[in-house]
Amino acid sequence: MSEQHAFAEYVRILGKGKRGARSLTEEEAHAAMTMIIRGEAEPVQIGAFLMLIRVREETPQELAGFVSAARNAITLPEVVAPVRIDWSTYAGKRRQLPWFVLSALLLAGSGHAVLMHGISGQDRRVYALQALQALGIHASATLGEAAQEIGRSGFAYIALEKFCPVLHDLIELRALLGLRSPMHSVARMVNPLNAAMQLQGVFHPDYRDIHQHAALLLKQPHMAVLKGEGGEIERNPDMPCPVLSVHHGVEHAEEWPAMFAARHLKDEGMDVRRLPALWRGEVMDEYGEAAVIGTAAIVLRALGEADSIAAAEAQAAELWKRRPVSWPKAA
């Protein structure tokens, strides 16, 4: 009889029947993810492992363990400009344009340094990178380059594959498995340049609590998570928006009201050229402008820059009003 593979123990823990199976502890999750990163698990084991967790959803302990292991696989640049906001973007948009990109640039231009990281897919969704390219902003090739760009302009975008290729490869298994895996949550929380404020958007409401509790375990100083439009960090102005957050070990919850009485129709065109046009004031889009201001307001509130929802919205609206319309430039 062949000797049991070391990684098989983690698959067994997750899959040992209705009564025998259990979740991984944070330490077990860290050890399992470390083995995957080092190439010590077989592909069939990785597929089984990810899907067993996917069936019942990852726990905060599992997510925290996976994230801490993934962070160990990231090589940091020697010099890192102070980054205030970590902005993850791993969903893509199908119904509305990624207006949150303008929110991030608005905040970066007002002194809140932002690192945005994510993926781009081959599907029909519109991803942040496409929006940034339409705005004349190019992705950084390395974390060092991203840090330099943040020091210069206050904003940088980097693709996941450029700073944690193994995590990117795990996410790409979706094409083989047919389902997203817990690695999408890991990527959202990896925070490669250790920003004090971590923002996360989720699609399924239950994940808000999971991300909030995982942030507590990871001792993240500040974080905010919301069920954003399309799963991104973007306030849908047509809907109430509960926001869960963590500030120095204390959990908070706050519900932001809808900004419109009636819902807007799906954007059938999804033309990213409207992003720079709205920024420059060349077109009017009440939904887009509300999404930009509403999202920026949530972030300002999470940063402690405003003591109420109304004050945060007023501050974000004033930033939008005073934005330099000559920047960012269209490609």
Tens of pLDDT, residue by residue over 189-200, are 999 999 999 999
CATH of the domain at 64: 1.20.970.10
Domain holding 26, by residue range, is 8-72
Is the domain of 44 the same as that of 161?
A: no
Helix (H, G, I), strand (E, B) or coil at 197: strand
Q: Over 90: is that where the pLDDT of 42 sits?
A: yes
| pLDDT band at 3; cut points 50, 70, 90 | confident
- Residue 121 has a pLDDT of 80
Is the domain of 129 the same as that of 246?
A: yes
- Residue 82 has a pLDDT of 85
Establish if 329 belongs to a structural domain.
Answer: no
Please give the structure tokens belonging to residue 39: 């190439």
Q: Which of 155, 93, 77 is nearest to 128 (CA)?
A: 93
Burial class (CB in 10 A: 0-12, 13-18, 19+), 291: buried
- Residue 330 has a pLDDT of 43
Helix (H, G, I), strand (E, B) or coil at 118: strand
Is the domain of 99 the same as that of 27?
A: no
What is the mean predicted confidence (pLDDT) over 274-300?
A: 97
1-6: long-range contacts, CB 8 A cutoff, minimum separation 24: 5/42, 5/45, 6/35, 6/40
- Residue 247 has a pLDDT of 96
Q: Over 90: is that where the pLDDT of 19 sits?
A: no
User: Tokens 């405003």 identify what position?
Assistant: 306
What percent of the chain clears pLDDT 90, i.e. is strictly above it?
Answer: 90
Return phi, psi of residue 21, to 5°.
-75, 150
Q: Over 80: is that where the pLDDT of 203 sits?
A: yes
To the nearest whole number, what is the mean pLDDT of the chain? 95
- Residue 329 has a pLDDT of 55
Establish if 212 belongs to a structural domain.
Answer: yes
- Boundary (domain end) residue, out of 28, 46, 72: 72
Return phi, psi of residue 23, to 5°.
-80, 160
Residue 282, amino acid: E
Establish if 328 belongs to a structural domain.
Answer: no
| pLDDT band at 328; cut points 50, 70, 90 | low
What is the mean predicted confidence (pLDDT) over 145-163?
A: 95
What is the mean predicted confidence (pLDDT) over 63-70?
A: 98
- What is the Cα–Cα distance from 139 to 142, expressed in whole angstroms? 9
- Residue 256 has a pLDDT of 98
Side-chain half-sphere of 36: how many Cα atoms within 13 Å?
A: 31
CATH of the domain at 272: 3.40.1030.10
Residues with Cβ within 8 Å of 250's Cβ and at least 6 positions away in sequence, in order, are: none
Helix (H, G, I), strand (E, B) or coil at 137: coil
Helix (H, G, I), strand (E, B) or coil at 21: coil
Is the domain of 188 the same as that of 137?
A: yes
Least confident of 54-63, 130-139, 175-184, 237-246: 175-184
Count up the domains in the chain and report the number. Answer: 2
- Residue 331 has a pLDDT of 38
- Boundary (domain end) residue, out of 26, 51, 72: 72
What are the tens digits of pLDDT across the range 164-186?
Answer: 999 999 999 998 998 889 999 99
Is the domain of 90 the same as that of 149?
A: yes
Q: Over 50: is that where the pLDDT of 137 sits?
A: yes
Helix (H, G, I), strand (E, B) or coil at 259: coil
- What is the Cα–Cα distance from 153 to 149, expressed in whole angstroms? 6
- What is the Cα–Cα distance from 166 to 72, expressed in whole angstroms? 12
Is the domain of 130 the same as that of 273?
A: yes
Please give the structure tokens belonging to residue 258: 């809808």
| pLDDT band at 123; cut points 50, 70, 90 | confident
Is the domain of 111 the same as that of 252?
A: yes
Cβ–Cβ < 8 Å for 15, 48: yes
- Boundary (domain end) residue, out of 30, 48, 72: 72
What is the mean predicted confidence (pLDDT) over 68-76?
A: 96
Establish if 331 belongs to a structural domain.
Answer: no
User: Bigger pLDDT: 134 or 327?
Assistant: 134
Is the domain of 91 the same as that of 239?
A: yes
Residues with Cβ within 8 Å of 89's Cβ and at least 6 positions away in sequence, in order, are: 98, 100, 116, 117, 118, 119, 127, 128, 201, 232, 233
